[in-house]
Structure 1
Amino acid sequence: MNKLSVNGLNVWFGKQRDRVNAVKGATFDVAQGESFGLVGESGSGKSTILRAITGLAPNWSGKVELDGRAIGKVRPKSFFKTVQMVFQDPYASLHPRHSVDQVLGETLHLHGFRDIDARVVKLLDDVGLGQKFRFRYPHQLSGGQRQRVAIARALAPEPELLLLDEPTSALDVSVQAEILNLLADLRRDRDLTYVMVSHDLSVVGHMCDRLAVMKDGHIVEILDVDALRSMKASHPYSKQLLEASLG
Structure 2
Amino acid sequence: MTALGIDNLNVWFGTDRDRVDAVKAARFDVAIGESFGLVGESGSGKSTILRAITGLAPTWSGGITVEGKALQGAKRDREFYKTVQMVFQDPYASLHPRHTVDQVLSETLHLHGMADIDARVERLLHDVGLGKRFRFRYPHQLSGGQRQRVAIARALAGEPDILLLDEPTSALDVSVQAEILNLLTDLREEHKLTYLMVSHDLPVIGHMCDRLAVMKDGEIVEIMQSDDLRNNTAKHAYSQSLLAASVVG
Which residue of structure 2 aligns with residue 57 of structure 1?
A: 57
Matches within 5 A, 1:206-221: 206-221=207-222
Which residue of structure 1 aligns with residue 2 of structure 2?
A: 2
Compute the TM-score of the two structures, normalised by the length of structure 2.
0.98
Q: Please, which runs of 5 or more residues in structure 2 have no aligned partner?
A: none
Secondary structure of 2:92's counterpart equals helix
**Stretch deviating more after TM superposition (8-17 or 162-171):** 8-17
CA deviation profile, 1:148-194 (whole Å, cap 9, x unmatched): 00000000000000000000000000000000000000000000000
CA deviation profile, 1:178-228 (whole Å, cap 9, x unmatched): 000000000000000000000000000100000000000000000001111
Root-mean-square deviation over aligned CA pairs: 0.9
Matches within 5 A, 1:227-238: 227-238=228-239
Deviation at 1:16, TM superposition (A): 1.3
AA in 2 matched with 1:18 = D
CA deviation profile, 1:5-61 (whole Å, cap 9, x unmatched): 000000111111111110000000000000000000000001000000000110111
Q: Please, which runs of 5 or more residues in structure 1 have no aligned partner?
A: none
The count of corresponding residues between Structure 1 and Structure 2 is 247
Matches within 5 A, 1:1-247: 1-73=1-73, 74-246=75-247
Identity %: 75
AA in 2 matched with 1:205 = G
Compute the TM-score of the two structures, normalised by the length of structure 1.
0.99
Distance 2:111 2:139 in 1: 21
Deviation at 1:134, TM superposition (A): 0.3
* Runs of 4+ residues deviating >6 angstroms: none
Distance 2:17 2:178 in 1: 44
Secondary structure of 1:245's counterpart equals coil
Deviation at 1:67, TM superposition (A): 1.1
Deviation at 1:246, TM superposition (A): 3.3
Deviation at 1:145, TM superposition (A): 0.1
